[in-house]
Amino acid sequence: MKILCLILLFSLTCFAKPIKIAVIDSGYDTTSKIPLCKEKSIDYTSEKTLEDNIDHGKYVVELIEENIGDIDHCYIIFKVFTKKKGNPLITTLNAIKQAIKYKVDYINYSADGGQYDTSEFKSWKSAINHNIIVFISAGNDKLDLDYACIIYPVCYNLDFQVVGNTYPTSNYGTKIKYLQNGYSERDGKKINGTSFGSPIALGRYIKNKHQRNVSSDEGYMTGKIAEAFYVQVGLDQQVDRYVYENTSKDIQKYIGRTTFLTNIIITQQIIIRWTF
């Protein structure tokens, strides 16, 4: 929750503003009860509905909602792709532009392509320059992005929050900031992939960044907000502490007994860095 305070007639008046989350995807379940922002959600496709007809965007929204906790928030849905023919690049550019205009706080973009595009690069750069935190999926091509960085927008040299998956199909490398197990069962179907790891990481990031009191046996400090907390593990990849608890056992096994030294926790195989 953001707090806006104004001085009115010599008194301090504060208004709570919800965190605005833009989901750029294939729509959502329009029968759901998610909190929508006052700003208009937009269908940029030819379907003339925000309903998700390919079972992708609705799961993205559900996963954010399930992990964000009781933080005051709302969603703006930008539907940019569907089964029908169209130009998802153009619709995505329109959505990014509108998200900037709406002054959203976060964007989740669980999609990628294999071609550099100058217009897309500039659009994402503008979003980040407007202090929007952008979570994107790393892609599911089994690529080491340090050697074959051909997936976009991940491979633009921008400050994205890139989420990889603990599943073996995930792309990997030093561009990955978070590893998240995106597996779940929805509507009788098994879903996996970085597309569904990204919204989980985003929801937990928002929950931990914006809650006022944080505490845990790992050394959280009550009354502080952990702005960033990364766990360095094998293959030079990083796992966010906020999403650690539900990651695979292969990653959890690296977390052993810890010794708290000022603002650095050192274990046998990893270093955990804190920023307050």
Please write the tens of the pLDDT for every residue from 137-166: 999 999 999 998 999 999 999 999 999 988
List the CATH number of the domain containing 84.
3.40.50.200
Q: Residue 176: pLDDT above 70?
A: yes
pLDDT of residue 186: 87
In a domain, 232, yes or no: no
Pick from 9-13, 34-38, 222-226 the range whose average pLDDT is largest.
34-38
Note down the domain range covering 77. Answer: 18-210
Distance CA 180, CA 200 (A): 8
pLDDT of residue 232: 34
pLDDT of residue 84: 79
For 103, counting Cβ atoms within 10 Å of its Cβ (0-12 exposed, 13-18 middle, 19+ buried), the class is exposed
Q: Residue 2: pLDDT above 60?
A: no
Please write the tens of the pLDDT for every residue from 29-50: 999 999 999 999 999 999 999 9
In a domain, 82, yes or no: yes
Distance CA 139, CA 193 (A): 8
For 118, the token pair is 């100058």
Band of the pLDDT at 248, cuts 50, 70, 90? very low
Band of the pLDDT at 245, cuts 50, 70, 90? very low
Band of the pLDDT at 167, cuts 50, 70, 90? confident
- DSSP assignment string, 32-55: S-PPBPSSPPEE-SSS-S-B-SSS
Please write the tens of the pLDDT for every residue from 192-219: 889 999 999 999 999 999 875 443 333 2
Distance CA 173, CA 180 (A): 14
8 A C-beta contact, residue 248 and residue 213:
no
In a domain, 202, yes or no: yes
In a domain, 227, yes or no: no
Rounded to the nearest 5 degrees, what angle is found at the Cα of 218, between the Cα atoms of 236 and 65?
80
In a domain, 122, yes or no: yes
In a domain, 115, yes or no: yes
Please write the tens of the pLDDT for every residue from 48-60: 999 999 999 999 9
Q: What secondary structure letter does DSSP report for 12? A: E
Domains: count for the chain: 1
Q: Residue 92: pLDDT above 90?
A: yes
pLDDT of residue 227: 26
In a domain, 266, yes or no: no
Q: Model's pTM, two decimal places?
A: 0.74
In a domain, 234, yes or no: no
